[in-house]
Structure 1
Amino acid sequence: MKLILRADIENLGRLGEIVTVKPGYGRNYLVPQGLAMLATEGNQKVFEQERRKLQEKMDSIRFSAQETADKIKAAPITIEVRVGEGDKLYGSVTTANIADALTEAGIEIDRRKIVLDDPIRSLGVYSIQVRLHPDVQAEIALTVKRHGLDEVEEEPVVEAPVETAEPVEESGQAEETAE
């Protein structure tokens, strides 16, 4: 099935290109979404008249994606997580966590645009790719650090001496009384 693309589509083509796709993909997705139209002579003439409007629309989308990319580069993101022994994370940091952290920083991004091969399972600094548009990509400077570092250190120090102090005092008193 031959179609004229009405938008830039990743892994398929650019605005105005005539492409060949499987009939189901074209009929069930591309045409109903307004991303393509059948490649007939009449549609080619109609497309040439619409081309300027569509190109302006695509340029505005690309411009807004570039603005978002600039915001992302300027805002380093920090995610605090709970860790166990050996600094292993309880769970992992996923695209949803990163999208939530970006939202808190005032940058709205769909989590599906964040490229993460595997979830992050250890502390550290990461560079994460974001595909905002087929022509625009950005990098997030992501820092994964321990949550509540001060609180975690205080709890074991407070609890441990209390538990060990009581038996020592009791046994010490028992020895003094026995003498």
Structure 2
Amino acid sequence: MKLILTGDVPNLGAPGDIVEVKDGYGRNYLLPRGLAVVATRGAEKQVDAIRRARKSREIRDLGHAREVAAQLGGLSVTVKAKAAGESGRLFGSVTSADVVDAVRAAGGPALDRRAVDVPAQIKTVGKHPVTVRLHPEVTTELDVAVVAG
């Protein structure tokens, strides 16, 4: 089955890529989740628009990714959670969007929230490691301090 990816799929491709996958994987996973559309003539014309949008928010190259990783390494990122119980457990959880906002507030670069991997769910106050995928060859780990606000 020939599909055009509309979202980032690990080990398969990025938005705008035209891929050939097994019928079951495409029908049962990619299409229902909105990660791909069937490659038709009309949809192939939209590939350029998808790729332009991806380029605007993408890390330019390997050197730029390493530069951004160096900036992230020197940051002290603090996320203020709305409320926490007496034992330090949060009412809610910290998401990748919260981490991206905290990086921006700390003076760091603008990141795509889909590039930030928050482990399971951050539901407690304290320091937590977060992985940021900047480039297929560059990933960096960022320590995020969660405080009750």
TM-score, with length taken from structure 1: 0.52
Corresponding residue for residue 61 of structure 1: 61
Distance of aligned partners of 1:21 and 1:96 in 2 relative to their CA distance in 1, 3 Å threshold: same
Aligned-partner SS, 2:87:
helix
Which of 98, 115, 118 is the equivalent residue of 2:117?
115
Do 1:66 and 1:136's aligned partners in 2 also have CA atoms closer than 8 Å?
Answer: yes
State how far apart, in whole Å, the 1-side matches of 2:90 and 2:65 are.
33
Do 1:127 and 1:139's aligned partners in 2 also have CA atoms closer than 8 Å?
Answer: yes
The sequence identity of aligned pairs, in percent, is 33
Do 2:119 and 2:130's aligned partners in 1 also have CA atoms closer than 8 Å?
Answer: no
State how far apart, in whole Å, the 2-side matches of 1:29 and 1:131 are.
28
Do 2:78 and 2:144's aligned partners in 1 also have CA atoms closer than 8 Å?
Answer: yes
Do 2:77 and 2:103's aligned partners in 1 also have CA atoms closer than 8 Å?
Answer: yes
State how far apart, in whole Å, the 1-side matches of 2:94 and 2:129 are.
13
- Give, as a single letter, the amino acid of the residue that structure 2 aligns with 1:92: S
TM-score, with length taken from structure 2: 0.61
Distance of aligned partners of 1:63 and 1:10 in 2 relative to their CA distance in 1, 3 Å threshold: farther
Structure with the greater relative contact order (CA < 8 A, sep ≥ 6): 1 or 2? 2
State how far apart, in whole Å, the 2-side matches of 1:96 and 1:59 are.
18
Do 1:113 and 1:130's aligned partners in 2 also have CA atoms closer than 8 Å?
Answer: yes
- Give, as a single letter, the amino acid of the residue that structure 2 aligns with 1:33: V
Do 1:10 and 1:134's aligned partners in 2 also have CA atoms closer than 8 Å?
Answer: no
TM-aligned CA deviation for residue 70 of structure 1:
1.2
State how far apart, in whole Å, the 2-side matches of 1:125 and 1:79 are.
10
- Give, as a single letter, the amino acid of the residue that structure 1 aligns with 2:66: Q
State how far apart, in whole Å, the 2-side matches of 1:92 and 1:72 are.
22
More strand by share: 2
Structural RMSD (CA)? 3.5
CA shift digits 1:120-172 (9 cap, x unpaired): 1101211100111211111111111233xxxxxxxxxxxxxxxxxxxxxxxxx
CA shift digits 1:78-123 (9 cap, x unpaired): 1233312222212221111101101112221111111124221101
Aligned-partner SS, 1:102:
helix
How many residues align structurally?
117
Do 2:59 and 2:134's aligned partners in 1 also have CA atoms closer than 8 Å?
Answer: no
Do 1:130 and 1:138's aligned partners in 2 also have CA atoms closer than 8 Å?
Answer: yes
More helix by share: 1
